[in-house]
Amino acid sequence: MDKYIVTMLGEKDHGKSTLIGNLLIATGSTTDERVREARVKGKRWEPAYILDSFSEERENEMTIDTTRAELVHKGKMFELIDVPGHLELIKNMMSGASNGDFAVLMVSVKKGEGFRPQTRRHLFLSQMFGIKALAVAVNKMDIVDYDERVFEKAKREVGDYLRSINFDKPVFFVPVSAYNNENLVSNSGNMGWYKGLPLAGLLMDFAKRYYRRPKSGGDGVRAIVQDAVETDGSKALFCVLYNGTVRVGDTVRVEPDEAKARVKRLHLKGRSVRSASAHSNIALVLDKDVDVGRGSMIYGSSVRPHRKGTFTARMFVINGIRSAEAKRLFIRTNNNDIPLKGMRIESTLSPVTGNRSRGGGSIATNDSATVSIILARDYPLERYEEHNELGRFALYRGEEFVGVGIVE
């Protein structure tokens, strides 16, 4: 069964967890027993309770960690990632957004909620991390008597913002009442003026029209070593194979030292095999001892990584930084911590206002920037749009998490 990752974006209280809960119930993706367990005596029934893993979450009525739920609909599986909307949990949100095929943005039309600053940051990050399509669920339409004019106003506001940040992905708007299960799986009679697909139908359409399977062929072998273990007089390298096909007898290189060796033995799921393809965990033994450890990259002999010590990146910063402090910073990627030697800020962008500026010596908290980075030592990196897993990094200042970035 095909599986697609859908990241749920939006503010606290705009209805993400409620929507997921009712989607699970309406599609039969959860059990009656699970629904019974989720009911809380003496409280109004909330579909969101299906997702809460901790009792304190129900008591505080706030999702405190990223929650994943599997939705099965018409032969396809969608893994829905419910991402916290609180600013203090934005690190969790970035982790979820970085793995999404599609995104659903929740925007509430309830007075006092609406299209708020953090919603804008969520949208910006979803584009930064390469989602293929976006569905904007305009929620709580029941509160405004299903008024089409309210929906159109929300649609214009979100649309204007998307244009201001040059959002270049397909976008579809759907009016919903998540609590009343309207326009989630079937069209609502209360919103007959809406002629589009319900939300589940949009996800099915996204899977059909916009999903592209990750590349897996060619000589562009990319594997990251997770561990190196001495066994029977040989060093077995346990790796995640992200791209390409590895065969016994192939010549490979090992970064960062560019050591060259031949694949002597190959194991997949505990069995000896002649070849292994992308998106699998493998163990391989080389014909010579090379300096390799956790975080090293193994790649095909003719197609080398695109970036080493210097690269351009887009970053989103949750704790402001200055270019002058570059030597206090380091990036974390593929189980490696690599210090910076220098950083030049090319431009900055406010995800809230859409305002841009050239150059400058600092990046403000919750702003984005295009930067040129010089690492203190060479390490292979890939362009994010070509190899997602190998083209992203986290930025740290000592023990402090500063932000995330992608290699351009």
Pairing of the two strands 251-255 and 329-333:
unpaired
Tokens of 246: 């590895």
Beta-bridge partner residues of 260: 253
- Which of 390, 389, 383 has the alpha carbon at shortest distance from 407? 383
Please report the pLDDT score of residue 26 as a whole number.
84
Please report the pLDDT score of residue 86 as a whole number.
42
Cα-trace Rg, the chain: 23
Is domain 2-209 classified as CATH 3.30.310.10?
no
**Rounded distance between C-alpha atoms, residue 134 and residue 174, angstroms:** 11
Pick the CATH number of 310-407 from 3.40.50.9100, 2.40.30.10, 3.50.50.60, 3.90.1150.10: 2.40.30.10
Please report the pLDDT score of residue 211 as a whole number.
81
Whether residue 4 contacts residue 76, with contact meaning beta carbons closer than 8 Å, is answered with yes
Give the global pTM: 0.77
**Rounded distance between C-alpha atoms, residue 88 and residue 102, angstroms:** 24
What is the domain partition of the chain in residue ranges? 2-209, 222-300, 310-407
Tokens of 50: 């299906």
Mean pLDDT per 10-residue run, the chain (408 residues)? 81 81 84 68 64 47 58 87 55 52 90 82 81 93 97 95 89 96 96 96 92 59 90 86 92 85 93 91 92 88 77 92 95 90 95 87 93 92 82 90 89
Domains 2-209 and 222-300 share a fold: no
* Residue showing tokens 């069209």: 187
Please report the pLDDT score of residue 152 as a whole number.
97
In CATH terms, the superfamily for domain 222-300 is Translation factors (2.40.30.10)
Helix axes 117-128, 148-164, angle to 10 degrees: 50
Residue type, 88: E
In the Cβ-directed half-sphere of 262, how many Cα atoms lie within 13 Å? 5
Find out whether the peptide bond into 339 is cis, omega within 30 degrees of 0: no
